[in-house]
């Protein structure tokens, strides 16, 4: 059988993993998925993910692709793989893509969401699923601050060092804040994200919400590019990769 390139849409609760990428001593989503794929396909598999997610970060819709010459029908693959995956990871759908498709390289844009439980008592059902923040947050200030991140900017001021990147300029298509009851959700869509960029942006919105900095100051802070002047990196458990955009059949996988 000819080699096929298959794209998967998966979701995972990241609580038990050290992120997507395989680590030396810790279990990763990538490694766990590759092992399950290996059992189904009968050969070693290399899965390419659409991005790193950190330890404890979740994915509602994540894209990975891999190449195989095993004959299993594409539409049966999710069931076969899920039977071999732990229950905190599930393949939701699979589609055959062009040979040149690559989950990270072919990605047009991504959306992350960050959930904050903003009330004074914890919710046991949101433990590890949202950031618990008991201090009252000002939604209007957060919205104003969020708008300042939209557009094409150098985002050096909101990234943690540690990973090499050609450029720190990114385009944020939207950065929005919504509230539903006690749950605040920040949605950030961009053509790419720097290391910890989402969590640092949300930390900056939180700072803006109680006046530690003003929304009007954000353009100047981005300009200066000094990570020490923006807000803290928020904890991982509130962060979810929510959506990924592609051209062609992989794109359809995320819009059905």
Residues that bind a second copy in the complex, under the rule CB under 8 A: 11-13, 58, 60, 78-79, 82, 87-92, 120-125, 127, 129
Tokens 């395989």 sit on residue: 22
The number of angstroms, rounded, from the C-alpha of 101 to the middle of its chain's C-alpha atoms is 20
Distance CA 246, CA 52 (A): 17
Q: How far is the CB of 78 from a second copy (least distance, A)?
A: 6
The number of angstroms, rounded, from the C-alpha of 202 to the middle of its chain's C-alpha atoms is 14
Q: How far is the CB of 8 from a second copy (least distance, A)?
A: 12
Catalytic residue among 13, 54, 180, 182: 54
Kindly report the backbone phi and psi dihedral angles of residue 70, in degrees, each rounded to the nearest multiple of 5, phi listed first: -75, 150
Distance CA 7, CA 48 (A): 9
Distance CA 112, CA 115 (A): 10
Is residue 154 part of the annotated active site? The answer reads no
Of 60 and 229, nearer to a second copy (C-beta) is 60
Would you give the end-to-end CA distance of the chain in angstroms? 29
Tokens 């991982």 sit on residue: 236
Distance CA 199, CA 203 (A): 6
Q: How far is the CB of 92 from a second copy (least distance, A)?
A: 6
Q: How far is the CB of 37 from a second copy (least distance, A)?
A: 16
**Catalytic residue list:** 54
């Amino acid at each position: 059988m000819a080699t096929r390139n298959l794209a998967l849409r998966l979701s995972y609760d990241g609580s038990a993993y050290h992120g997507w990428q395989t680590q030396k001593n810790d279990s990763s989503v990538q490694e766990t998925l590759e092992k399950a794929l290996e059992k189904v396909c009968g050969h070693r598999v290399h899965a390419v993910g659409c991005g790193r997610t950190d330890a404890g970060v979740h994915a509602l819709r994540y894209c990975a692709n891999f190449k195989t010459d095993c004959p299993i029908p594409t539409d049966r693959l999710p069931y076969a793989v899920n039977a071999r995956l732990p229950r905190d990871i599930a393949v939701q759908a699979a589609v055959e893509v062009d040979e040149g498709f690559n989950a990270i390289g072919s990605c047009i844009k991504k959306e992350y969401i960050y959930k904050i439980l903003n009330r004074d008592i914890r919710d046991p059902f949101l433990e590890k699923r949202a950031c618990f923040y008991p201090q009252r947050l000002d939604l209007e200030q957060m919205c104003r601050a969020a708008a300042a991140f939209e557009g094409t900017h150098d985002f050096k001021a909101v990234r943690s060092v540690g990973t090499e990147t050609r450029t720190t300029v990114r385009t944020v298509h939207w950065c929005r804040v919504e509230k539903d009851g006690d749950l605040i959700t920040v949605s950030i869509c961009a053509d790419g994200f720097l290391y910890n960029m989402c969590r640092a942006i949300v930390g900056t919105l939180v700072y803006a919400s109680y006046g530690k900095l003003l929304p009007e100051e954000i353009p100047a802070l981005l300009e200066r590019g000094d990570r020490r002047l923006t807000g803290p990196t928020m904890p991982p458990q509130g962060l979810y990769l929510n959506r990924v955009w592609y051209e062609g059949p992989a794109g359809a996988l995320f819009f059905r």
